[in-house]
Amino acid sequence: MCPFHDEFTEIRPLDKLVLISVANGVQVEAQGIGTIRVMLHNLKPIRIEDVLYVPQLDRRLLSITVLAGKGLEVTFSGSVFRIEDNEAVIVEVSKTGKLFILQCKRVEDANVVGHVERTRPVSFNIWHARLGHLQLGKLKSMEDCVDGLTLKQVEKSNDEDDICKGCAYVESSIKAFPRSHYGTLKAQSLLEMIHSDVMGPMHTSSQGGARYMVTFIDDYSRYVMVYFMKQKSIS
């Protein structure tokens, strides 16, 4: 039973008068019947049908008798009760005070629930990227380990043979630069490429008052020149 009309995704009038006796002995009237969709605290979306709309209630109520009548199994173990369907646990609820309170959130849009409830087929490349560029073999081994990954629905087609550009880039290697008696070379002749950098200011000045220095390194010969500067702008 639910007192909130806007939580029903569909609602229709009752064929006959339905009165419900609440805890204080007062009878309240159901004014409709329909379907609501909610997200459980374990992030499972559920669709509950034949829910009575009873605006005089102050909270939702879930009947264990009705659940059992629909073929679900409800078991109590200490301060926890479980709702199961074909031995698969739908949700576990812990006792709060003298009540078992099923925590759930309203799903605003029925289309969102439909999106969550159904795992849409996606390409292997998308799963590959979502799971950190995981190999197909390991992706298949995860089928029984996680929820929401149904490999039977993955559109494999030719995707398995596609080369992932990211993986190809990471696994590729760069051809080494040639070497000479000077070491590894990039430039092919003297003064073809010069590397330069400025360092400073130093905490301690030189005898000439310099606190900066600039370096020049010839890429081909690795010859180094160092000049001291009193000001960085001199460079």
Task: Note the pLDDT tens digit of each residue in 179-194.
Answer: 666 566 678 888 888 9
pLDDT band at 159 (very low <50, low <70, confident <90, very high): very low
Nearest to 117 by CA among 147, 93, 88: 147
In percent, how much of the chain has pLDDT > 90? 10
Tell me, what's the pLDDT at 215? 94
pLDDT at 155 over 80: no
CA distances to 36, 63, 114 from 48, in Å: 5, 12, 14
Cβ pair 52, 2 in contact under 8 A = yes
**Alpha-carbon 159 to chain mean position:** 23
- 88-144: pLDDT as tens digits: 888 888 888 888 888 777 766 444 444 444 445 566 777 778 888 887 778 777 766
- Most confident by average pLDDT, 34-38, 45-49, 129-133, 213-217: 213-217
Report if pTM > 0.75.
Answer: no
Q: Where are the beta strands (DSSP E) in the chain?
A: 8-12, 19-21, 27-29, 32-40, 45-53, 73-77, 80-85, 88-96, 99-100, 104-106, 179-180, 183-184, 194-199, 212-218, 224-229
pLDDT band at 227 (very low <50, low <70, confident <90, very high): very high
Tell me, what's the pLDDT at 78? 83
Reading the block at residue 69, the tokens are: 């009548």
Label residue 43 left, alpha or beta by phi (over 0 means left) and psi (-120 to 50 means alpha). Answer: left
Tell me, what's the pLDDT at 33? 92
Tell me, what's the pLDDT at 198? 92
Tell me, what's the pLDDT at 166? 80
Average pLDDT over residues 147-176: 65
Tell me, what's the pLDDT at 211? 92
Tell me, what's the pLDDT at 115? 43
Cβ pair 105, 38 in contact under 8 A = yes
Look at 42-46, 153-157, 228-232 and tell me which has the smallest mean pLDDT.
153-157
Is the Cα dihedral 222, 223, 228, 233 positive or negative?
A: negative
* 201 prior amide bond cis, ω within 30: yes
